[in-house]
Amino acid sequence: MHHANHFYGHAQILARYCGLAEAPTIWGYLQHGWNTHDGFAVGHDFVPGRPKLVWSEAVARRGWALGLRDYVVIGSPWAYLLTVVPEAADSPREGTIVYPFHGWEGQQIVGDHAAYADQVREREGDVPLTMCLYWNDFEQPQIRRTYEEKGFRVITHGRRGHMYTGGDVDFLDHQLIELRRHRRVVSNRMGSALLYAASVGAEVGVYGDPMVLENDHAVLGGMARQERLLPQMHQDAVPAEVAAGVAARELGLDETLPPRMLAHALGWDDGVSSGEPVPQERRSTPATQELG
């Protein structure tokens, strides 16, 4: 089915949970990121009758309100990753990791990175700071240098891929390692990273210049819709219980399925014989790319 099912290694994570070495074809459309719309990219074409496999009831309800149907709630790939990569006991946390609002291969971000770096340093104080850039920002030396020269460790988790090639299937593994290392996780807009962070117990916050996306889609509502939907998340230090509740709802942490039921939802019945997930050891590969 659609190549977006493989973004960020999502299909592979679901296969790992189901005890499969490789990900078979998913017979449906898998939500690949968080948004305030219907769970999918604007203009996404769907084959009638194929399920829209979304992270949570909250996403499905937003889609239903737009007149869309065929939603099936399965929980997010992130929720399944947490079950196969358990956290080590008493893992130390320090510093702040920042996930600035980013574009993608077809739309770039417009904003003042130097000013944003200064805002972050002023708010976070004298702590270790990590700036995690989307890959196409990471590969622009002037953006990387802006943050490096202001004392940030600059990394990327990898590429999401396109048309089944070029993606890093360990993308979310790398992100999970980083989120578990940091005490705080902040951004200038709501996004998947903050929800992931809240789900693993990091303090989260949203502040600073929200920047803008070139030729942004009006239907998404921009920053204003995010603030209306989740006003409680738009503060520089969100109370832990508030952040955890929003993350659980939006990521479907309580809506995951047992392996056989998940396999059935994905169209993988023939490949799964076990009724239990297969935990995997913590990976020893580097968590990120860093500047040399």
Q: Which pair of tokens denotes residue 23? A: 């990900």
Orientation angle between helical segments 77-84 and 192-199, nearest 10 degrees: 30
Query: Is the domain covering 96-250 a CATH 3.90.190 domain?
Result: no
- Please give the Cα distance from 4 to 175 (Å, whole number): 19
Bridge partners, 5 (sequence order) = none
How does pLDDT run along the chain (292 residues), one tens digit per residue?
A: 678 889 889 999 999 999 999 999 999 999 989 988 887 876 667 788 899 999 999 999 999 988 889 999 999 999 999 999 988 777 789 999 999 986 556 556 667 899 999 999 999 999 999 999 988 888 889 999 999 999 999 999 987 655 556 567 899 999 999 999 999 999 999 999 999 999 999 999 999 988 866 555 445 556 788 899 899 999 999 999 999 999 999 999 999 999 999 999 999 987 664 444 444 433 333 344 554 3
Orientation angle between helical segments 192-199 and 240-251, nearest 10 degrees: 110
What are the residue ranges spanned by the domains of the chain? 3-85+252-271, 96-250
Give Rg (Cα) of the chain.
18
Bridge partners, 212 (sequence order) = 110
- Please give the Cα distance from 139 to 105 (Å, whole number): 12
Which helix (H) or strand (E) is 63 found in, with range?
helix 57-65
